[in-house]
């Protein structure tokens, strides 16, 4: 769980993954229910998940990507349906992640649809890789290159001006903290320090399409980067909210990790129903 301590300051508390109480085989409905239950238990109103929330709109002017994918330079290109995901190895993850968002919506945690949100409960898409870059910090390398605390130390220390984390902070926990900063700062009323990538989610042909990715901005007043794309929509971020708590959840390519007080639930191959 991430909590605002004033200004850009953040407090992160690590909670054991066992609190999610998930069993195999894991399905999107079970993960969404566990996240919602744990968020209620800890008094957190907003969930930030690193994973696609919706499919591409056919009329967004791009060949394969959602607008937010293009602006974030995301490795997964979310097409109009599972058959159009690129690369194909991401298809299971993308489908699983969207189903988690769908189920959270059904449980009362809707997708972020406005840059001036008033909802007490929200499910927000994040993207740690873009968050590191937006903060002008070198992105954390792949897990295979940062297996030990010593290898991750420089990235943990690079966040010291924002949040104090223990030396044993895992790779998943670092990603969850960074990925959740944008949602937390938006919730805390620091809208000028948040960047919105993409366009508001909407329903088309029975499916949710597009959606915002929310990341922390490098400087006050920064907005999403400008790209020469024909994506529809627009607007500027603004928000007025009391300082709250935000749960961050990592949905990885072959895993689902959830952060409650930066709790990391690691479910390797989650979309295949295997938990480790």
- Give the residue with greater pLDDT, 221 vs 13: 13
3-state SS class at 269: coil
DSSP state of 55: B
- Give the residue with greater pLDDT, 129 vs 236: 129
Which residues partner with 267 through β-bridges? Answer: 256
Residue 263's pLDDT band (boundaries 50, 70, 90)? Answer: very low
DSSP string for residues in 77-92? B--SSGGG-BSGGGHH
pTM of the predicted structure, to 2 decimals: 0.82
Nearest-angstrom CA–CA distance, 191 and 241: 10
- Predicted confidence (pLDDT) at residue 232 exceeds the cutoff of 90: no
DSSP H or E stretch at residue 207? strand 207-216
- Give the residue with greater pLDDT, 152 vs 19: 152
- Predicted confidence (pLDDT) at residue 253 exceeds the cutoff of 90: no
**pLDDT (average), residues 90-105:** 95
Angle at 275 between CA 14 and CA 141, to 5 degrees: 60
Nearest-angstrom CA–CA distance, 207 and 270: 22
């Amino acid at each position: 769980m991430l909590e605002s301590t004033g200004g850009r300051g953040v407090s992160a508390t690590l909670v054991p993954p066992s609190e999610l109480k998930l069993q195999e085989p894991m399905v999107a409905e079970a993960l969404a229910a566990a996240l919602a239950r744990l968020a209620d238990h800890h008094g957190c109103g907003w969930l930030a998940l690193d994973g696609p929330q919706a499919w591409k709109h056919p009329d967004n002017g791009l060949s394969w990507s959602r607008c937010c994918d293009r602006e974030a330079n995301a490795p997964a290109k979310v097409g109009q349906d599972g058959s159009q995901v690129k690369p194909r190895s991401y298809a299971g993850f993308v489908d699983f992640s969207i189903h988690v968002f769908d189920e959270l919506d059904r449980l009362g945690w809707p997708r972020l649809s406005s840059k001036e949100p008033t909802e007490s409960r929200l499910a927000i898409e994040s993207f740690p890789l873009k968050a590191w870059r937006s903060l002008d910090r070198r992105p954390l390398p792949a897990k295979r290159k940062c297996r030990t605390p010593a290898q991750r130390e420089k990235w943990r220390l690079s966040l010291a001006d924002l949040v104090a984390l223990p030396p044993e902070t895992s790779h998943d926990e670092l990603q969850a903290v960074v990925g959740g900063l944008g949602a937390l700062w938006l919730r805390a009323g620091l809208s000028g320090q948040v960047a919105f990538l993409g366009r508001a989610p909407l329903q088309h042909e029975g499916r949710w399409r597009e959606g915002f990715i929310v990341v922390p901005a490098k400087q006050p007043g920064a907005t999403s980067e400008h790209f020469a794309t024909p994506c529809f929509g627009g607007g500027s971020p603004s928000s007025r909210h009391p300082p709250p708590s935000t749960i961050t959840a990592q949905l990885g390519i072959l895993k689902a990790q959830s952060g409650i007080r930066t709790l990391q639930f690691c479910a390797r191959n989650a979309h295949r129903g295997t938990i480790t």
